[in-house]
Amino acid sequence: METTAPKIRGISPDETLEACARQIIVNYFHQMMSYKDGAKAGNDIEFVHEMRVTSRRLRTAMDNFLDCFPEKAFNKHYKKVKSITRTLGAVRDLDVLIARFEKELDTLSEAEQADLRRLIEHLQREREDTRKPMLKLFAKLEAAGFETEFLKFFSR
């Protein structure tokens, strides 16, 4: 999975700050959402990682351009992006921990490996439990038309 920063078209000194802000925010939003299906599938931990990283970049861009938008409508979208970041973070923390322990297995005695495998299995079950709120949030946002509403607001 390649994680290069996207090229953002339509950004120039001839454009208004608001127009540039909209382009930047929409670009990060599309990038963030491009990882959603992989994050939902749960087979590759990098999708959760990349979606979370991009959601944080999106929030930073939104923070930087807050003054370009009506506060009430903006805050509604910002809070949803923040909730995405938070739920992804809980899953990501467990992904990192599991991966770290899996790398340590070969350096341990057989008895220690057995203990660590039990811990990893426990953490994997915990990860599945932690994914449930993430999946529930995605379903809730999809049902509410979050993606369409977000893009409608920022793509004017």
What is the DSSP secondary-structure string of 113-138?
HHHHHHHHHHHHHHHHHHHHHHHHHH
Going 53 to 59 to 60 to 65, the CA torsion angle's sign is positive
Going 138 to 140 to 144 to 150, the CA torsion angle's sign is negative
CATH number for the segment(s) 17-155 = 1.40.20.10
pTM of the shown model:
0.88
Each residue's pLDDT tens digit, 21-79:
999 999 999 999 999 999 999 999 999 999 999 999 999 999 999 999 999 989 999 99
Rounded to whole angstroms, how far apart are CA atoms 85 and 53? 8
Check if the beta carbon of residue 99 is closer than 8 Å to that of residue 45: yes
In the chain, where are the structural domains located? 17-155
